[in-house]
A and B are shown apart, each in its own frame.
Chain A
């Protein structure tokens, strides 16, 4: 049987191995950093909260239960920690309110590749449509295509059902398609 390098590093880290902890840090820091900035729109808050998150993780390694997917575990725990921090700072009343605030998940033109398989739209037009989506839809899109999480992992991270991840994706793509790009068979078929 093969175990993923991530999983074996995780196991060593739980046993207190600092080298394993450092490897995990180097591997996951960039993606959690990008994710944190997308949630908060604030890089110094993201960096501070990531620092305390990793220190907390190390100091509480004895209390962590069985972890199936290291990546989604880190995403879900960091998301929780960051939202808590945001709640403290901005005195929001609920997590929903934070997530629905305008600042969350704003994409920039540099982040979109100029060639998109899904649509014939120009990047600028796609960007506009993307940024006009509700925050939850943007977060699902972000986690799926930017962070490359599976739908089951996204459900875990966002604490929603698998079905609602799927519904959210359907809704988002229905809006992202240009009106002229109706589901005509000629377009759907591969040339």
Chain B
């Protein structure tokens, strides 16, 4: 009886063209292998085995309900949290310390302002804060960013930097909410959106509800959820497109930057704005290297370590300058 030719079997299993033949997915491959098989009839058992292994068994997989997974996850997270508070009691005081400093800083900034009615919230490099405005609107302010408003009108905000807004609707009066940047004004009733004024333009991404943009050149734009608008006053450049909300633009507010096929140059620009560092590329072509993935952003060193790992490069930090070299 014919024996299996192991070497041929291994080769067939790794041959894309043979796999196409077995799956009947490419006409040229089917023709080629059909004639090859006719000429190698003595190997028919090996060929047949290879075909079976490629096609395999088609299973109907049992689904595990999402609710079930969530419930199990919660109970795992609870167990983890319990052990955390048991073993790390001292470290758990640290966040309170930071919160207190931030609060004091606000009072200081507020009182020191020449205009007594003006309120300012400002973040340092690498600092992310959650704010609740007097009207109940929630704001997450990214590092090196600032918002201003007057006490008389806490629903009229001026933003420099990057922030995420969850606007509290006021159905009774239909009171609007405004965010003004150097390039445009966002007009809303109640919704969730993301504004970024870094660089010479303002980017807006809308998650929920609907908003109007009043551009500095006098035009208006209506946005629906899942859309992205970018406008620059200086160049009058406007981009209006749909974005993939599965890869949110504003994931930094959960402590993670998500990059989807961005060049290292763009990623590092983000780091410069958020952490106030200066980036030097020692190899020019590194700038074009693409990065996909999530990078933790609450700490510069962790962030740099993650970029090093995912882009396969070496990062050297000298005071406020970081240098990128190829491995």
Contact = CB atoms under 8 A, between A and B. Distances in A.
Interface of A: 1-5, 7-9, 11-12, 15, 17-20, 22, 25-26, 29-30, 33-34, 47, 50-51, 54-55, 58-59, 110-113, 115-118, 126, 130, 141, 144-146, 166, 169-170, 173-174, 176-177, 183-185, 187-190
30 contacts: A3-B310, A4-B293, A5-B293, A7-B293, A8-B306, A17-B256, A17-B296, A19-B254, A19-B256, A25-B72, A25-B76, A30-B63, A30-B69, A51-B72, A58-B80, A59-B80, A116-B57, A117-B58, A118-B51, A141-B56, A144-B56, A145-B58, A146-B59, A173-B49, A173-B53, A176-B57, A177-B52, A183-B45, A183-B48, A188-B37
Contact of B44 (A26, A34, A115, A183): A183
**Top 4 A-B residue pairs of the complex, sorted by shortest distance between their CB atoms:** A8-B293, A30-B64, A117-B55, A113-B58
A116 B10 CA distance: 23
A169 B6 CA distance: 12
Given A5-B294, A12-B295, A25-B69, 8 more contacts: A5-B292, A25-B73, A58-B76, A58-B80, A145-B56, A146-B61, A166-B9, A190-B24
Nearest to A167: B6
Given A51-B76, A111-B59, A188-B48, A2 B292 contact: yes
Contact of A55 (B24, B61, B79): B79
Contact of A3 (B256, B293, B302): B293
Given A58-B80, A183-B48, A190 B21 contact: yes
B309 interface: yes
Contacts of A115: 58
Interface in B97-143: none
Interface of B: 4, 6, 9-10, 13, 21, 23-24, 30, 33-34, 37-38, 41, 44-45, 47-49, 51-53, 55-64, 69-70, 72-73, 75-77, 79-80, 83, 254-256, 261, 289-296, 302, 305-306, 309-312
